[in-house]
A and B are shown apart, each in its own frame.
Chain A
Amino acid sequence: MDANAVAGTRQPEPRRPHTASLFRKGWEAPSARAIVALVFILAIGCIFNADGAFYKWGTHRDALRQASVFGILACGMTLVIISGGIDLAVGSVLALVSVTFSLMTIHWGWPGVLAIPLCLLLALACGAISGGIISWFGIQAFIATLAMMVFARGMAKTISGGMKVSTAVKNADGTYRYEEVPEVFRAIDSRVLGGDVSVVTLIFVGCAVIAWIVLARHRWGRHVYAVGGNEEAARLSGLNVKVTKVLAYAASGLLSGVAGLCQAAQEQQGDPETGAGYELTAIAIVVIGGTTLAGGRGGIGLTLLGTLTIGYLDKILSINAVPEASRLMLTGAIIVIAVLAQRRARPR
C-alpha cells in the first residue's frame, strides 16, 4: 500500500492536459522569449538612438504605422499556421484589393460603405478558394497558396491594366484629369488622438483583438489548434477538419483584404505590384513571435510581440541610416537567433 494513500496526505494526480490548457501552455512559454527579444531590440534602439530620434513619440507612432499592414497580414497568417498550413498568397491578395479599392473609389466614385465590403468579400473569396482547394482536393497548402499568389497577382494586373490606379485618370482622348483623393482614403491614412496615433495602427489593433477573441475564446479557435496539432486525431474526434481549414484561409484572405485597404489609402493609389514579398515578412513575424510552423500552438499575443520586434528593428535600422546590405544581413541573422531561442525554450 502506498504511504501516500493514507487519507489526507495523498498527492494530487498530475493534471492531464486538455485542450484549454494546451493552448494556454503554448502561449505562456514562448511569450517570455518573445518579450525578451522585443526588450532586447528596444534596448538597441535606446543605445543607437540616432541623435535622440528614438526618444521622440513621432518615431514610435511611425514605426507602428509602418508595421501595421504587416501586423494585419501576420494575424491571418497566425490562424493559418496554427491550423497546420501556410498562406503564401497574402501579398497578392493585398495588391488585388488595393487595386480594386482604388478603382472603385477613385475611378468609379463609389463611397467607402459600398467599396469596402465588396473588396473584403473579394479577399474572403480568394482565401476561401485557397482553403477549398487545400481541404477538398488535398493539395498541399504551400502549392495551393502559391498558385493563388500568382493568380491573384495576375488578376490585380489585369484589372489595373498593369499601371497604378491613381488619382490621375486617363480620359478617352489620352489626356489626364485629376480626381480628388477619396474621403475614405484620407480617413484611413489620418491620425487621431491629437496626431499621436495612426488610424491604421488602430485598425491593426482591432484586427488583432478580434483574431485573439476568435482563436482563444471561440469554439472554432480550439478546433484550429486541434487540427494543427494532430489533424487525424481531430478528424477522428468528430471535428469538421475541412470546414475548419477553409475558415482559417478565408480569415487570412479577409485580413489580407483589410491590409490592402490600408495599403491603398497610405499610397493614395492601387499599385498592382505592391505587397510583393510581404508574405515572407508576415511569416517571419509569426515565427519570431513564437508560433511554430509545425502548427498546433501559438497565438495572436505572440504575433503582436513579433510585429513589434520586427517593426522596431526596421525603424531602428532606418533612423540610423544603416546601408541596405547590412540591414538585410542583420535582419536575417536576428530571425535565425530568435527562432533558435524559441526552440530551446519549448518544454520537451
Chain B
Amino acid sequence: MQIHLSLLALGGSLLLSAVLGTGCSRSETSGRAEDGKRFKIGMSQCNLGEPWRVEMNAQIKAAAAKHPNLEVIFKDAQNDTLKQRAHVEEFVSAGVNLLIISPKEAVPLTEPVAKAMEAGIPVIVLDRALVGDKFTCFIGADNKKIGRAAGEWIVKRLGGKGKVVELKGLMTSIPGQDRHSGFREGIAGSQIEVIFEADMKWLEPDARKEMESALARFPKIDAVYAHNDPGAHGAFLAAKAAGREKEMIFVGIDALPQEGVAYVQQGILDATFQYPTGGAEAIDTALKILNGESVPKTIVLGSRVFDKETVGQGGRDLK
C-alpha cells in the first residue's frame, strides 16, 4: 500500500508539473518586444463551456495578434463567481495594464472591479453588465434589439399572420428574458400568435423534446423561434423526424460561423441573428485607452442577420 501511495504521489506531481509547464508556455506572448511600450492585458472569462465564449476568446486573441506590443493573459473561471473574483484580484496584484472581464454575475464582481479601477487599472466589461459605473467601458450587444429584429423578420416573412412556437433560453438569465421580451415587441400589433412556448435552457436535446410536444399538439405550425441556434437545430431535427420540416421556418440567434451560419448555409435554419462577442472591439477600445484616448462609457454592438439571401455575403447589418 505504501509503495502504491508514493508512486501515485510522484505520478500526480509529474502530471501537475507537465500541465502547468505546457500551460505557462502557452500563455499569450505575441511577437517580439518593439520600441513601443509592451502592454499586458488580463482577460477574465466566466466560463469556456459555451462555444460563444470560446469564440469570444478566439476573437480577442486574433485581434491582439495584430498588435505585437499586446500580451493577453486568459483566465477561465469555469462559471464559478468566487473563482472569477480571485482571478480579478490576481490580475491586480500582477499589475496588468488593463483588464477585460466578461462577468458571470453583476453584483459579486462589481467590488473587485472597482478595486482594480482604484489601483489604476482600466477595466473593459464585456457582454454582461456590472452594477454602478466603476469601470471604464461596457461593450455589449442588445438582446432586446435582436429579439425584436427576429420578431419583425418573422412578421415580414409570414405576411403578418401565423402560428409560432417559441423555444426559450434559460428564463432566469438576462439574455433569455431580453430575447423573449424583444421578440414579443417585434410581433406586437401583427396577427402572429405564439401557440406554444417552453424553456429549453439553451440546450439542444431539451429543445428537441419540447418541439416534439408542440408537434404532437398542433397540426399546423408556421414558424419556430428559438433563443439560440442549438435550440433551433433541435427543433428542426424534431420536425424532420415527424416529416414536417418543410411546413415551417426556423429562426435562431447567435450566428456562430460553425453553427448558426452553417445551419443557414445547409438549409436547416431560415435565419439566424448574430449575437456579437465584442472581442475585436474590446482590443480596439483597449488600445485607445492605453494610448490615453477617451472612450465612451457604453458601446452597443450592432448585429447582423444571416438568411438564405445574405449568408453568402456575410449577412446583412441590422439597423
Residue numbers of A with Cβ under 8 A of B are 50-51, 53, 56, 58-59, 62, 65-66, 136-137, 157, 162-164, 166-168, 170, 176, 178, 189, 191, 263, 266-268, 271, 273-274, 314-315, 318-319, 321, 323-324
Contacts and interface: CB of A to CB of B under 8 A. Distances in A.
B237 to A, nearest CB: 7
B205 A166 contact: no
Contacts of A62: 209, 212-213, 216
Nearest to A319: B213
A208 to B, nearest CB: 21
Given A170-B258, A266-B237, A318-B198, A58 B205 contact: no
Contact of A189 (B213, B233, B241): B241
Most buried by B among A50, A65, A319: A319
A contact patch SS: mixed
Contact of B216 (A56, A189, A271, A324): A56
Interface stretch (B111-119, B259-267, B295-303): B259-267
Interface string B32-50: 0000000000000000111
27 contacts: A50-B216, A50-B217, A53-B216, A56-B216, A58-B242, A62-B216, A66-B212, A162-B48, A164-B259, A166-B258, A166-B259, A166-B262, A167-B266, A168-B257, A170-B258, A189-B241, A263-B205, A266-B208, A266-B237, A271-B204, A318-B213, A319-B216, A321-B196, A321-B198, A321-B213, A324-B171, A324-B199
B258 A176 contact: yes
B258 A168 contact: yes
Nearest to A69: B205
Contacts of B201: 324
Interface in B212-248: 212-213, 215-217, 233-234, 237, 241-242
B49 A273 contact: yes
A191 B241 contact: yes
B284 to A, nearest CB: 21
Contact of B51 (A53, A59, A163): A163
B4 interface: yes
A315 B51 contact: no
A96 to B, nearest CB: 15
A321 B211 CA distance: 11
Nearest to A58: B216
Given A178-B265, A321-B213, 7 more contacts: A59-B213, A65-B212, A168-B257, A178-B262, A191-B241, A267-B205, A273-B49
A163 B198 CA distance: 26
Nearest to A63: B212
Nearest to A52: B217
Interface in B153-211: 171, 196-199, 201, 204-205, 208-210
A315 B213 contact: yes
Contacts of B266: 167, 178
What interface size band does chain B fall in? 20 to 34
B131 interface: no
A65 B237 CA distance: 13
A166 B8 CA distance: 37
A319 B217 contact: yes
A15 to B, nearest CB: 43
B14 interface: no
Interface string B82-117: 000000000000000000000000000000000000
Interface string B130-142: 0000000000000
A53 to B, nearest CB: 4
Given A66-B212, A266-B208, A266-B237, A162 B217 contact: no
B24 to A, nearest CB: 17
Contacts of B212: 58-59, 62, 65-66, 318
Nearest to A62: B212
A176 B262 contact: yes
B316 to A, nearest CB: 19
A251 B99 CA distance: 48
Contacts of A266: 205, 208, 237
Given A51-B217, A168-B258, A319-B217, A267 B204 contact: yes
A13 to B, nearest CB: 46
B51 A66 contact: no
B9 interface: no
B290 interface: no
A167 B8 CA distance: 41
Given A318-B210, A324-B199, A176 B257 contact: yes
B213 A53 contact: yes
A168 B262 contact: yes
Contacts of B197: 321
B318 interface: no
B34 to A, nearest CB: 26
Contacts of A323: 199
A59 B241 contact: no
Contacts of B196: 321
Contacts of A268: 233, 237
Contacts of B204: 267, 271
B10 interface: no
A54 B257 CA distance: 39
Most buried by A among B50, B51, B217: B217
A66 B213 CA distance: 11
